[in-house]
Amino acid sequence: MTVPGFLRADRPARPDPVRPAEPAPVRLAHNELPFPPLPSVAAVLEQALANGHRYPDPAATRLAHRLGELVGAPETDVVVGPGSAALLQHLVQATCTPADAVLFCWPSFEAYPFVAEVLGVGRQVVPLDADGSHDLDGMLAAVTPATRLLILCNPNNPTGTVVAQERIAALVDAVPDHVLVVLDEAYREFAPAVDGVAVLHGARRANVAVLRTFSKAYGLAGLRVGYCVAPAPVAVALRRVTLPFTVTAAAQLAALASLDAGDELAGRVRAVVAERERVRAALGSMGWSCPPSHGNFLWLPSGPDAVAFAAHCAAAGIHVRAVPGEGVRVTVGGVGDNEALLRAAASFPGGWRWSGGEPGGSAGGAG
Express each pLDDT in 29-87 by its tens digit. 999 999 998 889 999 998 888 888 999 999 999 999 999 999 999 999 999 999 999 99
Q: Report the pLDDT value the prediction gives residue 46, as an integer from 0 to 100.
A: 87
Radius of gyration of the chain (CA): 21
Q: Report the pLDDT value the prediction gives residue 97, as an integer from 0 to 100.
A: 96
Q: Report the pLDDT value the prediction gives residue 204, as an integer from 0 to 100.
A: 84
Q: Report the pLDDT value the prediction gives residue 143, as an integer from 0 to 100.
A: 98
Sites in the chain below the pLDDT cut of 70: 1-24, 350-367
Q: Report the pLDDT value the prediction gives residue 366, as an integer from 0 to 100.
A: 31
Distance of CA 252 to the CA centre of its chain: 20
Task: Confirm if 226 and 214 have CB atoms less than 8 A apart.
Answer: yes
Domain spans of the chain, in order of start: 26-33+263-349, 40-260
Give the full edge-to-edge strand order of the sheet including 226-229: 78-81, 226-229, 208-213, 180-184, 147-153, 101-106, 122-127
Does the domain spanning 40-260 belong to CATH 3.40.640.10? yes
Q: Report the pLDDT value the prediction gives residue 133, as an integer from 0 to 100.
A: 97
Instruction: Fold for 26-33+263-349, please state it.
Output: Aspartate Aminotransferase, domain 1 (3.90.1150)
CA distance 299 to 207: 31
Q: Report the pLDDT value the prediction gives residue 367, as an integer from 0 to 100.
A: 28
Q: Report the pLDDT value the prediction gives residue 47, as an integer from 0 to 100.
A: 85
Express each pLDDT in 5-31 by its tens digit. 666 666 665 555 555 556 557 999 999
- Compute the residue count for the chain: 367
Tell me, yes or no, if the two domains 26-33+263-349 and 40-260 fold the same way. no
Taking the model in full, what pTM does it have?
0.91
Q: Report the pLDDT value the prediction gives residue 2, as an integer from 0 to 100.
A: 62
